[in-house]
Structure 1
Amino acid sequence: MQARRSFWAWGLETDEPTEAQRQETAARLSQRWGREISAPPLPKIEDIQLRPPRVSPPGPLAAICTTETHDRAAHSYGKSYRDTIRAVRGQFPNPPDVVAYPRTEAEVVAVMEWCDSGNIVAIPFGGGSSVVAGVEPPGGDRPCVSIDLRELNQVLEVDATSRAARIQGGVLGPHLEDQLRPHGFTLRHYPQSFEWSTLGGWIVTRSGGHYATNHTHIDDFVESTRMVTPKGIMESRRLPGSGAGPSPDRLVLGSEGALGILTEAWMRIQARPVFRASAGLTFDSWQAGYEAARQVVQAKLWPANLRLLDPTEAGSAAGLKGDEALLIIGFESAEVPQDWPIRQAVRLAREAGGRIEDEAIRISDGSDGSDEEVGRQGAVGAWRNSFVRAPYQRNLTAGMGVVGDTFETSITWDRWPSFDANVRAAMTGALQRVCGGGTLSCRFTHVYTDGPAPYYSFSGMGRQGAEIEMWTELKKAASDAVIANGGTITHHHAVGRDHMPWYRQQRPELFHSALKAAKSALDPKGILNPGILVD
């Protein structure tokens, strides 16, 4: 029997920690923080009590709908810190009334028509990995249906000549790659949530993935989109580029389920990489590291990976001593050897103060089968493993008082030094005020010629039972600091409901009026993800 997704944890039910593992974690935290920390019992689905469904699907849709407790609980939240705390406590006060699993686009249309005719809230649901309350039912008296697209999971067509593929929106990252692999292609988009996020979710949240430079957002891979709305289907023409007015795809990208449900898209794909090169350079200071990153990206060598870790993150996640910054550089190609670009990038980084031995620069042409190992050794490999496993670590500590999260943004290079100093000061002060201290680290997830996309992580020991209130204060401090210092409230995590107060400060008011008009035209009854993007 195939394992189910956990209704409270990241991953499958088989990924949930055991009670013994939780007890070990509590003991370790007790020793570290010098106080008694207990491991609260994990929730069991048979103990979860949900309010009765307020609506029933019509007969023709009954076969693809369910009101089972597990399905409704699993579709109540995304996977943010607050979501995990509420779920591990067994708190599900506002679940969807029905979960629908349409198997075809026609069934998506039928569910949409049912919701529209009955004034029922419709929440599009992909992998459920939102960290900004993007899939959470809103409050209010209207019943709610969560529309899970997991059955729309196929690569429908591959155009090898144009290097593009027509793909359904509900396909999870690993299954997408498994279907492209036999054709010799890859989408090559790897957000941290890759295992449990979908193509449609990537598109409507403007996901940031594998590439740290050049091709970064999913936007760069979209060739055309097809979206079901309450007023009908909107499909853009498949083209490599067009100057015919504002792009219809730009209305879909970042729409977060407020305008329609993306059922399929033509995506630009590429041949699977064979040539690879990787290097990790250390710097005496964070400042020297980010100056090196700027020099490399502005040379337009376009490394696939250009991640900078500050000394704190390099120490905790990459195994370094904690007093050096680490710049990770990676190149890859299906057609061209990567010896020259990696050496040019390393040269620029060395000139900015970076250190690396020549033998530590790893280059492969794939001929000996070792190309997949490039970038997976030493400090670079240690950080990669930590990055991939990070979402699972929260399963171990949930409900034990640890208050921690991340926030990401972007800023231009000229404002970056003061931005970083001000954000760090604000968050250090907030951690001291809320938790009596804690840790704050930063890395660059993406680097542009005109500025970096910094990704901050914070953690402190709070009080068991008060985690959400403490997290809320820290989240507000982070968001206030980002907006006050000129950054974007989100670089790739989307707006959702959590970021709306700061998104209102960032967006131009005339744009909001235009977006409201688009919402009214496509979703006149406001059934789609109310409270997202449009007030």
Structure 2
Amino acid sequence: MTGSGTRSWWGWGTVEDAVRGAELRDLVDRASALLPGADLTDHPPPDVPSLGLPPPRIVPPDSLAALCSSDPTDRAAHTHGRAFRDVVRNLLGDLRHPPDLVVRPTVEGEIVDVLDWCARVHVAVIPFGGGTSVVGGVEPRLDGDFSGAVSLDLGALEGVREIDRTSRAARIGAGTLGPALEDELRPSGLTLRHFPQSFEFSTLGGWLATRSGGHFATGYTHIDDLVESMRVVTPAGTCESRRLPGSGAGPSPDRLFLGSEGVLGVVTEAWMRLHPRPRWRADASVHFTDYGAAVAATRAVAQSGLRPANCRLLDPVEAFVNAATPSGGGVLLLAFESADHPVDAWMDRAVELCRGHGGTLPEAPRRTAPEAPRRTAPEAPRRTGSAGDERDTDAAGRWRSSFLRMPYLRDALAARSMIVETFETACTWDTFDSLRAAVHDAANDALRRAGATGVIACRFSHVYPDGPAPYFGIYAAGRWGSTVAQWDDVKAAVSEAILAAGGTITHHHAIGRDHRPWYDRQRPEPFAAVLRAAKSALDPAGILNPGVLIGPVASAPDGPTSS
């Protein structure tokens, strides 16, 4: 239970916000129109008692027993993340690797005690924040022979603990959820302004451990840019970096743990750089008749130094499916914001660049001054609800409303045999055209082999001067009971295509267990050796999130499986 609703054990978000009523009827109608002949029979989730989870294999010591839960619903909710394949497996009652216990430490010292116990009896420890991983990062699908597995839920390590207004930074517990973080910062007039799509249900610690990307398309897009210092508990000791605006003193300790996905240590808190809350905003939707021209316009804006808060290019399929906007060449969503000055000049110049590439604006840019009410410019997502904002009448507003509801919509379609999933990458501008073509070919071929019909959408989630981060979506009619296997075939095919075309296996979704085969090929081997050495030094028993990032580095010690 969160402060805003009851978390679903099997799918995204809260039970109260699931798709139902008119929204569900409209969704099913649109899916039928997109994929005629698809079998959209509903398959409700099973009751937890019917899952038949195996009994826990381990017994905690008395000193830790109060922190541990073996409740079946608790264990079920911590078995998978929230990727499409996770949701479908939950719907099918396929929970093969549940944690034996869910452990909820309340203070840092209890984490030390849990790691000591687990190292002694060779129990795997899976750090768990909000559970929103889409790459198998929190699933106890283990590499190695362990006596058991615990899900280390860090939700109790929450709260903004200290604010340094002079330096504009705050010390924040790793278990703090996105909305609570922003609520606690709001009275100070400051904001972290890191809004991933999972914002409502993900934690600061999860963002740090996975090097998450925020909602904003340029500038401070990755959580890395916002870290001032971190505190991490490892089996070998606690590591805390010094608070500094920058340092050239050797390799950065923080960079070792950022993106380490819990295999080197458990993030407990961090000092994060903050921003004053924006007061001026402007947003616009630019339409194109040619997709190549739309890409060129987006590149021009990305390389202009204007640094828009939003610079998302929707291809024609994405514009139609998720913004209900027909477009021959796509739609570019632009937004600027500032706490210090009006942003009209920046917006005007960006629009000028787009018009130079054939872009048109059905509506003039909307501009928000401090004294005017906010309209649809980017802001921290609040409750997602089941209906769009009544002001969301243009492509940007409709897409933003859809963006916040996408995971709920995906769950509803997944329960109706649809294959609805995304994958993302990043590449340089000179390779984008060939990468996109290769991905489309690979996905279409895989869908054809799987006997599924569907469409492929693409948007830029982030843009840089030297390249975009293309974010692809698959919408296909599958066969109930086979959709996981069908998706796995598509995922493997597009992952091969991405690596062959020079892209990264992930821009911001992390590696987890699902991306390991391609990550192992992407990373340089000398770096892999360094990562294995760091793992051996910090986690000698090899208990932390086994199977993520690297393979086993330690053998199981002799010892009992309980006490």
Instruction: Please classify the TM superposition score into its range, dividing by the shorter chain length.
Output: over 0.9
* Equivalent position of 2:154 in the other structure: 149
Is 2:499 aligned against 1:497?
Answer: no
Distance 2:29 2:463 in 1: 40
Task: Tell me how far 1:458 sits from its aligned partner.
Answer: 1.0
Is 2:539 aligned against 1:517?
Answer: no
Matches within 5 A, 1:236-251: 236-251=241-256
* Equivalent position of 1:218 in the other structure: 223
1:29-76 CA-to-partner distances (Å, cap 9, x unmatched) read 568532554222321123221101011121121111110001100000
SS in 2 for 1:446: strand
The one of 4, 11, 26 aligned to 2:13: 11
* Equivalent position of 2:500 in the other structure: 484
* Equivalent position of 1:130 in the other structure: 133
Task: Tell me how far 1:231 sits from its aligned partner.
Answer: 0.7
The one of 51, 67, 75 aligned to 2:70: 67
* Equivalent position of 2:46 in the other structure: 43
Distance 1:457 1:35 in 2: 18
Query: Match of 1:251, as an amino acid?
Result: L
SS in 2 for 1:381: helix
Matches within 5 A, 1:292-331: 292-331=297-336
Matches within 5 A, 1:87-126: 87-126=90-129
Query: Match of 1:258, as an amino acid?
Result: V
* Equivalent position of 2:481 in the other structure: 465
Matches within 5 A, 1:245-394: 245-356=250-361, 360-368=364-372, 370-374=373-377, 376-394=392-410
1:390-417 CA-to-partner distances (Å, cap 9, x unmatched) read 0011221234221121110011111112
| Identity level (%) | 51
Tell me: CA distance 1:394–1:200, structure 2 relative to 1, closer, same or farther (3 Å): same
Structure 1 unmatched ranges of 5 or more = none
Distance 1:30 1:274 in 2: 43
The one of 516, 523, 529 aligned to 1:507: 523
Structure 2 unmatched ranges of 5 or more = 379-391, 552-563
Contact 1:316 1:322 in 2 (8 A): no
* Equivalent position of 2:460 in the other structure: 444
Paired residues in the alignment total 533
1:3-44 CA-to-partner distances (Å, cap 9, x unmatched) read 431110111233345699979977875685325542223211
Report the more deviating stretch, 173-182 or 88-97.
Answer: 88-97
Query: Highest relative contact order (Cα 8 Å, sep 6+), 1 or 2?
Result: 2
Tell me: CA distance 1:30–1:352, structure 2 relative to 1, closer, same or farther (3 Å): closer
Contact 2:19 2:408 in 1 (8 A): no
Distance 1:36 1:238 in 2: 56
Structure 1 length normalisation: TM-score? 0.96
SS in 2 for 1:453: strand
- Structure 1 stretches of 4+ with a deviation exceeding 6 A read 18-28
Distance 2:414 2:473 in 1: 17
SS in 1 for 2:453: coil
Contact 1:6 1:16 in 2 (8 A): no
Distance 2:278 2:22 in 1: 42
Tell me: CA distance 1:519–1:141, structure 2 relative to 1, closer, same or farther (3 Å): closer
Is 2:457 aligned against 1:455?
Answer: no
Contact 2:298 2:354 in 1 (8 A): yes
Contact 1:223 1:240 in 2 (8 A): yes
Query: Match of 2:164, as an amino acid?
Result: D
Task: Tell me how far 1:336 sits from its aligned partner.
Answer: 1.2
1:61-102 CA-to-partner distances (Å, cap 9, x unmatched) read 111111000110000000011100111112212100010111
Task: Tell me how far 1:138 sits from its aligned partner.
Answer: 2.3
Query: Match of 2:364, as an amino acid?
Result: A
Task: Tell me how far 1:418 sits from its aligned partner.
Answer: 1.6
Contact 1:497 1:532 in 2 (8 A): yes
Distance 1:35 1:418 in 2: 31
Distance 2:114 2:91 in 1: 31
Is 2:151 aligned against 1:158?
Answer: no
Is 2:212 aligned against 1:207?
Answer: yes
SS in 1 for 2:546: coil
Tell me: CA distance 1:7–1:435, structure 2 relative to 1, closer, same or farther (3 Å): same
SS in 2 for 1:438: strand
SS in 1 for 2:186: helix
Contact 1:208 1:216 in 2 (8 A): yes
Is 2:100 aligned against 1:84?
Answer: no
Report the more deviating stretch, 136-145 or 225-234.
Answer: 136-145
1:216-256 CA-to-partner distances (Å, cap 9, x unmatched) read 10000001100000011011111000000000000011000
Contact 1:26 1:38 in 2 (8 A): no
Distance 1:36 1:219 in 2: 44
SS in 2 for 1:444: strand
SS in 1 for 2:434: helix
Distance 1:35 1:353 in 2: 38
Distance 1:38 1:26 in 2: 10
SS in 2 for 1:371: coil
